[in-house]
Structure 1
Amino acid sequence: MKSIIALTLAAALAPALAADAKAPAKPDLNKGQAVATQVCVACHSADGGRGSPAYPILQGQHPEYLAKQLHEFKSGKRKNPVMQGFAATLSEDDIRNVSAFYASKQAKTGFATNKDTVSLGERIYRGGILEKQVPACAGCHSPSGAGIPAQYPRIGAQHGAYTEAQLVAFRTGVRGNSAQMTAIAAKMNDLEIKAVSDYIAGLR
């Protein structure tokens, strides 16, 4: 009788135990901050804020996107000698924790700098380039640039110079970890890339 009860209880608990086994570990923001201050601070500032325009602002970025990029740097799918070196030192827990740490910070607002191209940048961001079959950036990254968690990154208020560099990298094939962005950037000229990148810097 006891064995029957034990088997019945085990069968009843099995789904819950299996769910617990599959549940991802919760990120530890304190440990994430430790990684950020020890490994990432030189380029990304203490909290991923508005440091050098050569490096991306990480504040408020979706943790899933940050983790994906770190994994792709680590595997070599996304090429960057500096980031590949740093990412190679990070464990799965480190990646989860530091991604959550940056995501927990409030992204600061930015601004466009070129009044001569802001209207062109806005047209591209909100309406695309119809004759080139370039879709509106807002379709994936939202009207405010907030992106869609786990699908598309936050780009609003990003450094214009960084966004421009990434679009050029997609266009030339230097950055090859998004077939969608490669196809879009391939249809854009320098002026269009520069205009929309500067406009994105002022999104909020």
Structure 2
Amino acid sequence: MNRLSKSWKVLEFAIAAGLTAGVSIMAMAAEPVTPAKPDLARGQAIAAQVCAACHAADGNSTGGAYPKLAGQHAEYLVKELKDFKPQPGGKPPARNNAIMAGFASALSDQDMINVSAWFASQTPKPGFARDAKTVPEGQKIWRAGIADKGVPACAACHGPTGQGIPVQYPRLSGQWSEYVVAQLYAFQQGTRNNNEPMRQIAHRLSDDEIKAVADYAAGLH
């Protein structure tokens, strides 16, 4: 083989190798990114150091001023933590809460995943309805909605027993009724803007209807 033939063979091999490497890189780029795995030990530490004062270390808060987080969907909790943070472009947070904005801003994305997974892994303590007189109305709204007001059944999104759907719809079974009432008011008043359907539904409910359905949800199991 002469020198020219050898040079051509070397060039040909280099081109083939380069193409192979390029295809490999493209294939790697096309592979889906695996979500970060939660570190429950780190999540427990964050819960104990940062969250426990309001939500309790196991997520079973002791009063309606703060929601129960035990058993809540991890994906939903991560989303809500991100919604407390200021949005890109200087836009305000989708959930306006100065206290939670400070805590959420101090957490990395991985820390949010860790602490959310920790609370999701905890067993929620059951709640109960407190006003027997409003249970029938709350049950009707939960199961069938209010047709003449355009209010859909709560069960359609949150489930017949209030277990919810990860990411989109939170677990409301056993949640403090005072907290649910406060959130429906927040949707009405525009201090919570991270769910347009809920904002519209809240505007169609009277104060009595809000209290009835929130109390009913507290007793779901």
- The TM-score with structure 1 as length reference comes to 0.92
> Is 1:32 aligned to 2:43, yes or no?
yes
The superposition leaves residues 114-142 of structure 1 with CA deviations (integer Å, 9 ceiling, x where unpaired) of 00000100000000011111000000001
Asked whether the equivalents of residues 165 and 171 of structure 2 are also in contact (C-alpha less than 8 Å), the reply is: yes
SS in 1 for 2:70: coil
Structure 1 runs not aligned, ≥5 long: none
Given the superposition, is the C-alpha separation of residues 120 and 9 from structure 1 closer, same or farther in structure 2, using an over 3 Å criterion?
same
For 1:15 and 1:49, locate their aligned partners in 2 and report how far apart those are by CA, in whole Å.
Answer: 46
Amino acid at match of 1:11: V
Task: Map Cα deviations across residues 80-137 of structure 1 (whole Å, 9 max, x no partner).
Answer: 0111111111111111111111111122221101000001000000000111110000
- Give the Å deviation of 1:74: 1.4
Please report how far the alpha carbon of residue 171 of structure 1 lies from its aligned counterpart in structure 2 after TM superposition.
1.4
Distance, in Å, in 2 between the alignment partners of 1:151 and 1:143 is: 16
Sequence identity percentage: 51
Q: For residues 1-204 of structure 1, what are the structure 2 equivalents within 5 Å? A: 4=16, 7-8=19-20, 11=23, 14-16=26-28, 18-19=30-31, 22-75=33-86, 76-204=93-221
Q: How far apart are residue 18 of structure 1 and its match?
A: 4.6
Query: Counterpart of 1:74 in 2: which secondary structure?
Result: coil
Moved more, 190-199 or 102-111: 102-111
The one-letter amino acid of 1:103's match is A
Deviation of 1:13 after TM superposition, in Å, equals 7.2
Give 1:6 shift.
Answer: 7.6
Quick one: distance in 1 between partners of 2:119 and 2:173?
A: 15
Q: When the two structures are aligned, how many residues end up with a matched partner?
A: 203
TM-score normalised by the chain length of structure 2: 0.85
Superposition deviation, residue 15 in structure 1? 2.9
Q: Once the 2 structures are TM-superposed, how far is the Cα of residue 57 of structure 1 from its aligned partner?
A: 0.4
| Aligned CA-pair RMSD | 1.8
- Consecutive unaligned residues of structure 2, counting only runs of 5 or more, are 1-11, 87-92
Of stretches 139-148 and 7-16 in structure 1, the one that deviates more from structure 2 is 7-16
Larger Rg: 2
Distance 1:17 1:30 in 2: 32
Amino acid at match of 1:80: N
